[in-house]
Amino acid sequence: MIIKINDYNKHDMIRQTNEKKYSISRTRDYGVGVGMGFHLHNSTEIIIGEEGIAKYSLLGREYLVGKNDILVISPMEIHQFEIVKEPFIRYGFTVNPIYYRSLNLDNDLGQVFLTPTLEQYEKNYRKMSSDTVKNFVSLLEELKTEEIKGEFFSSHMERFLVSQLTILLFRSFKMSKSDTRVSNMNERMQEIQEYINLNFHEKLDLESLSRLFFLHPSTISKEFKKSFGTTLVKYINTVRICEATRLLENTKYSVSLISDMCGYEQVNTFLRQFKSIMETTPLQYRNSMLKFYENGSAKK
C-alpha cells in the first residue's frame, strides 16, 4: 500500500504518536523557516528524508535532514524543526517503547531507537543508499497494509515487520553487538522505568520505589542515572510533562486539572516543571499547537 502524502489529520497524527503502538506518515510542508516549535512525545520518532531539507534541534545540537537521511529521536526528548529548503517531504515512523520491548528483540537492537550523537549521525545516518531507503519504505508500506486490513494474524505480521525494520536500521547504521550482557541491576532499572511510564500519575519518589522494588534509595538514585543518563526525579517529571502536552493538545481540560492528572499535588510545581522542560507555559504551549494544527488544516 502506497503511503500517500499528507493523507491524515495533523492533529490525529500527533495524538497517535503518543497513544498508538506505532504510527506511519508521509508529510509535505512548505515555507522556509516554518516548522514546529519545541515538543516531545513518549515514542521514538524515526524521520526519513525524501525531498528538501529541515533542521531539527535537540540536545543542544542541530541535525540537518535531507534526501535519504534518517534521523532517530528518542522518546521524551524535547525537539523542534524548521524547514531550510522547501518543500520538505519525509516519512515518519514512531514506535512506542513498550511495544518494541514487547518484541523481545536482542538488547543491542535497542540502540536503534535512541538519538545518535551528531558525529554518529553525520557518519552513519546520512546519505543512505537508495536501496536501503527503498527497502525501509517498502517495509513501512507492508506494515501500513497490515494495520489497515486487520486480517487474521495481522498482529503477528506487524511484530515481524517491525523486527525487520529494526534489524535493517541496525545494519544500516553500522551498529555492533556488545560483548557484555545486560546486568541484573540494569534490568531492575528498566523495570523501574516501565513502572514510572505506567504509573506517573501516582505519588512517585525514591522512598516509594525503594519499598516497591526492595532496593535502597541511594542504589536506585545512582543506578538509574547510570542506566539512563538522567536523574530519577528529572525522568519522572519528563514523563509527566509529556502526558501534560498530550492533554493540552487533545482536551480542553484546565491547567489545574491536567496538573492533578499528571501526578502533581501543587499546580505551582507543575507550572515550574513545565516551564523548565518545555521553555514555555502550558497555555502558551496549547495556543501554539492550536495554531500549528490550524495551519496544517489550511494547507492540506
Task: Please list the pLDDT of the chain residue by residue as tens digits (300 residues).
Answer: 789 998 766 556 565 666 689 999 999 999 998 888 888 889 999 999 999 999 999 988 999 999 999 999 999 999 999 999 999 999 999 999 989 988 988 888 999 999 999 999 999 999 999 999 999 999 999 999 999 988 999 999 999 999 999 999 999 999 998 766 667 898 899 899 999 999 999 999 999 999 999 999 999 999 999 988 899 999 999 999 999 999 998 899 999 999 999 999 999 999 999 999 999 999 999 998 888 777 654 444
83 assigned to some structural domain: yes
Assign residue 231 the CATH number of its domain.
Answer: 1.10.10.60
- For residue 13, the model assigns a pLDDT of 59
279 in the same domain as 221 = yes
- The Cβ of residue 162 has, within 10 Å, a number of other Cβ atoms equal to 20
Domain count across the chain: 2
- Cell (9 digits) for 38: 519545541
The pLDDT, as a whole number, for residue 177 is 86
Distance CA 41, CA 25 (A): 16
* 136 plus 37 within the same structural domain: yes
Residues 101 and 158 in one domain: yes
Question: In this predicted structure, what is the pLDDT of residue 107?
Answer: 83
pLDDT at 297: 47
Asked whether residue 228 is assigned to any structural domain, the reply reads yes
Q: Please tell me the predicted confidence (pLDDT) of residue 10.
A: 59
What is the pLDDT at residue 16?
Answer: 61
Instruction: Report pLDDT for 186.
Output: 86
Residue 102: which domain range?
Answer: 10-177
Asked if 18 and 246 touch (Cβ cutoff 8 Å), the reply is yes
Among 157, 177, 197, which residue terminates a domain? 177
Question: How far is residue 266's CA from residue 76's CA, in Å, rounded to a whole number?
Answer: 23
**Per-residue pLDDT at 124:** 97
Q: Cell digits for 147?
A: 494495520
pLDDT of res. 300: 46
Give this prediction's pTM: 0.87
127 within a domain of the structure (yes/no): yes
CATH number (domain holding residue 72): 2.60.120.280
For residue 4, being part of any structural domain is answered with: no
Q: Is residue 254 part of a domain?
A: yes
Query: Which phi and psi angles does 275 have, rounded to 5°?
Result: -65, -35
**pLDDT recorded at residue 11:** 58
Q: Which of 115, 150, 177 is the last residue of a domain?
A: 177
2 falls within a domain: no
Interacting residues of 104 by C-beta distance below 8 A, sequence separation 6+: none
